[in-house]
Structure 1
């Protein structure tokens, strides 16, 4: 065997490759078709299937109907809606997840393996470009198809996002790592083995901190917990299989060889909600350091969970036999599948049975896991060092450079949002997590625009910034259809923090005028719709021009005019006023009833509800309630 020289990665050797994105299209187009001869009860194998590669220029050739559309990724929201409709049609009620984190007398233990697609331009071992939502089989190199004579060529830049992910997970970067072959046979793996890092991964011994605000189970305490990361390893992705009617499967090899990292946790999780919170936190971390292409909703991150149970009456007892649930594609699926498998194992053990080590599956809307196959072990996979790939040597200078340029991690940013802008933990987390990090970038740009308009008054700025966060979280979401599965696309968010449908400057103008009480909240929301529909600048050059031309500036009533309205609203409402007598704190519902009468009796476009409430409260306290108390 020829001597393989190690691949040495340093900051300087990768200069210019840290963010470069190349493109190499192959001549392979169309789907590969696998028609299984076996029944659905038995898994098809290469001996029971015929494989036909279609080298055609059509974009979506279907084996039975040439006009059939190409099946694509079904958005998670649509899956959940469809499942809800099926449950409703069958009369089944959705099972509640309340108070199901523990089962008396039993301890649950969970370990998680997370597979994330890295944000790279090239595949792991070929120059073919990574492809998402492109025509099938248009980004495939000879090595991706395991063509005889082809060799893997490690693409140095694919390691960079993996290193960023490992650093975000507080891992120790290994100076030398190697690649191994994991053997298994399936149509989605053309070579009959997957190249991974089993013996010497590039990162080990990390840790992820979970806090109560991350959504962990209450049983894990108010201080949160830390979960160990055993290792992070690089590996290839497999082909994408799309099931068709009649035991036919379409195979898209674009995904073969796409770089993945596998994040393996220690079995230190004991509650289903905490497991889901960990996967969510990992997704946020990977996105924050630009390591992961897309999240669970888009299929860019998948989780396998290992579940075992044991009785709590013997703390020294070993962990129970674990089962693995494969390819969970949502945070809810992680929690629900763990609950179902925990309950199944407990029922089996309480009935005197034993738990078999096996791989199980889960479908959205299910109440039980299902057996897929016996659990493979190290012997089954026949791990061996890959003879075609040299070791990777990672220079300390590269690691230091990536650590120094990684920026703030989500926990630090959430703490800053809460401290500097008075946001709740929920709002701060939502702002960071939405739209793949693009919405928080948009928020910062809006803050910069408002700061330039407001000046140095810190208190005034904070109140306006809180208003901005509320609008960016909630009001922008109301612009798109509730049935939308991709608000980021509908609104036109960009990675630079801009929004095509609601530009930063337009939203900053609306928020500034609203904050300064120069327009009402109702007018502000109408202006937001005007911007969203493109009427600025098509019809009006600026937001202020639209307000001026339509006469929308807020000319508020004077206190005298408010007082006159308060008198008119209270007139004839003695029964209501009586309910304020002897109250230390006025009944808010009745108070707002009277304020509502004020607004209806006056000019709504000139009334600020908060000031109307203030004047009504003063009128009741100073005039009407004392008079009623004397009667």
Structure 2
């Protein structure tokens, strides 16, 4: 946890006709394991391949084909659990979840219901300066993904692509600790951030490698506190699950829509039916998909093709020792080591690539100045041109060179912006460009003093005005900067102008 003082956010309250209601939310996030091969076969997991080109015999449920566990996927699950401060179960087991669907050729999904590989953990969800909530993670289990049914290629038939069949997923299940739509989206953002730092999931929601099932219920004020005291879920109201959410914006919209639907039912004297629903963003509504199944509906039983999974504590300890610095710790270090604000540290650590880029810029240089240039100049330009940090025309070494020239007084902030533009469009070494193009800042106080005296002598009326209103001294500063092509040291100019005017 961060070495900072936080207060929990207030629950989202919706006013109904019969009084106030509070939201209770839990999420089941399916994160695709970053692995080149599937959970139980050696088939590729490459996204965008031709349909049915990444399919092994076991994925297609060919008779006699047996699953073989992918050790790297197990390691990634353990790594994720450690990153979420969770308990690692040294013994876990796989079960068969039985249901029929065309894109599930085996007729069952291999998952972990009774004995997951990872137990309880936690995530600190940031909701703004000084505001956060600790969301408990109930479990993480490994399971194989299903394939994809395609219905829009021909009006008379459907197609099945088995490329995703057998891809390893981590299902990360939270406790019902989330109290509002914004908090739910922030939870997913923070979880994705941690997974990317760990390298266990790329978090690419548009490609389907991360998606969330959102459980929503409503209760009266005070009922959630009763649940916390008793752990009796009946205080939380009947929940409905909204499936396959892959957008932060849609997650928030769906929660709000579903909560209001449930409130309308309850206030009309009706019951909320526990079921699985889908969110339609075009109509702004959730609609029933199927009644909510319980475990017995899937006829879970231990998978006879896989022995219980046993791992050694020494192996877990080795994985723990290899964990990278995670975003919360990195944010605290940036604030402490570089003297920046917590907000700037949050911006810089939001993405692991951005944080690494900044550190390359700041190492051995003025960290606060480096942060200002990375956030305002670099990130601003990247956003304007819709580029990622990996595609930046200005490298960390080049931007670091610009920061260093500013710190040494070789160039002013204005010249630095001109230099940044040159490096962005033409490339080159900043120090060399400054020398070759005569961009070096004028620090010769004698030369600056001569220029100040000339401008004062040519503008006696302006001198008298400045003596009455010292703020007008800025006019002389501007004239000197203009006369020197912006190369004069601004601090020296201000000091000399003030002295010559007797201010």
Q: TM bucket by the smaller chain? A: 0.7 to 0.9
Measured in 2, the distance between the counterparts of 1:114 and 1:422 equals: 36
Q: Is the 8 A contact 2:92 2:117 kept in 1?
A: yes
Equivalent residue, structure 2, for 1:505 = 397
Judged with a 3 Å threshold, the aligned counterparts in structure 2 of structure 1 residues 524 and 389 are, in CA distance, closer, same or farther, namely same
Separation in 1, partners of 2:308, 2:253: 40
Q: Corresponding residue for 1:37?
A: none
Q: Which residue, 47, 53, 57 being the options, matches 1:142?
A: 57
Superposition RMSD in Å: 3.2
How many residues get paired? Answer: 478
- Shift of the 445–379 alpha-carbon distance from structure 1 to 2, 3 Å rule, reads same
Q: Given that residues 233 and 262 in structure 1 are in contact (C-alpha distance below 8 angstroms), is that contact kept between their aligned partners in structure 2?
A: yes
Residue 561 to residue 119, structure 1, CA distance change in 2 (3 Å): same
Q: Please state if 1:398 is matched with 2:307.
A: no
Cα–Cα, structure 1 residues 406 and 525, in superposed 2: closer, same or farther, change >3 Å? same
Query: Which among 179, 186, 193 is matched to residue 284 of structure 1?
Result: 193
* Long gaps (5+) in structure 2: 1-9, 227-233
Identify which of 423, 442, 447 aligns with 1:555. Answer: 442
- Aligned-partner Cα distance in 1 for 2:500–2:275: 73
Cα distance in 2 between the residues matched to 1:109 and 1:506: 49
Counterpart Cα distance in 2 of 1:360 and 1:129: 32
- Separation in 2, partners of 1:228, 1:140: 36
The answer on 1:349 being equivalent to 2:250 is: no
Does 2:351 match 1:469?
no
TM-score (normalised: structure 2)? 0.84
Counterparts of 2:72 and 2:161, CA distance in 1: 24
1:90 paired residue number: none
Name 1:606's counterpart in structure 2: 487
**Pairing 1:410–2:410 present:** no
1:352 counterpart SS class:
coil
Q: Alpha-carbon deviations, 1:507-545, whole Å to 9, x = none? A: 222221122221233433343343344543xxxxx3333
> 2: distance between equivalents of 1:285 and 1:275?
16
2:13 is the alignment partner of 1:102: yes
- Corresponding position: 1:198 with 2:90: no
Cα distance, 1:400 vs structure 2: 1.0
In 1, the alpha carbon distance for the partners of 2:460 and 2:14 equals 57
For 1:380 and 1:442, locate their aligned partners in 2 and report how far apart those are by CA, in whole Å. 50
**1:388–1:591 CA distance, 2 compared to 1 (3 A):** farther
Find 1:518's aligned residue among 397, 410, 434: 410
1:268 maps to which of 166, 170, 177:
177
SS at match of 1:244: strand
**1:21 match:** none
Which residue does the alignment assign to 1:73? none
1:546 alignment counterpart: 433
- Give me the whole-angstrom Cα distance separating, in 1, the residues matched to 2:457 and 2:253: 57
1:320 corresponds in structure 2 to 237
Check whether the contact 1:569–1:598 (CA below 8 A) recurs between aligned residues: no
1:161-197 per-residue CA deviation (whole Å, 9 max, x = no partner) reads 1101001111111121111111222233222221110
Distance in 2, matches of 1:567 and 1:225, equals 64
Match of 1:490 in 2: 391
Q: Closer, same or farther in 2 for the Cα pair 1:535/1:267, shift >3 Å?
A: closer
C-alpha distance in 2, partners of 1:613/1:371? 70
Q: Secondary structure at the match of 1:194?
A: strand
Q: Determine which of 238, 242, 251 is the counterpart of 2:146.
A: 238
Distance 1:255 1:553, change over 3 A: same
The reply on whether 1:215 has 2:127 as its aligned counterpart is: yes
CA offset digits 1:215-262 (Å, max 9, x no partner):
26x9xxx56332221111001122245553554655432222111111
* 2:157 pairs with 1:229: no
TM-score (norm 1): 0.68
Cα distance per residue 1:282-329 (max 9 Å; x no partner):
111112222113343553211111000012266656221101111221
The question of whether the paired residues in 1 share the 8 Å contact of 2:440 and 2:487 is answered with no
Q: 1:253 to 1:528 in 2, by over 3 A?
A: farther
Shift of 1:611: 5.6
Aligned CA distance change for structure 1 residues 360 and 555 (closer, same or farther; 3 Å): same
Counterpart in 2 of 1:458? none
Q: Alignment partner of 1:288: what SS?
A: helix
Aligned equivalents of 2:143, 2:68: Cα separation in 1: 14
- Counterpart check, 1:122 vs 2:37: yes
Partner of 1:83: none
Of residues 163, 167, 170 in structure 1, which corresponds to 2:82?
Answer: 167
Report if the CA contact (8 A) 2:477-2:497 is conserved: no
Identify if the C-alpha distance between structure 1 residues 570 and 432 changes in structure 2 by more than 3 Å, giving closer, same or farther.
farther
SS at match of 2:120: strand
Distance 2:332 2:213 in 1: 31
Provide the rounded CA distance (Å) in 2 between the counterparts of 1:313 and 1:504: 52
**Cα deviation 1:97-149 (Å, max 9, x = unaligned):** xx993224212111111111112222100011221233443322111122222
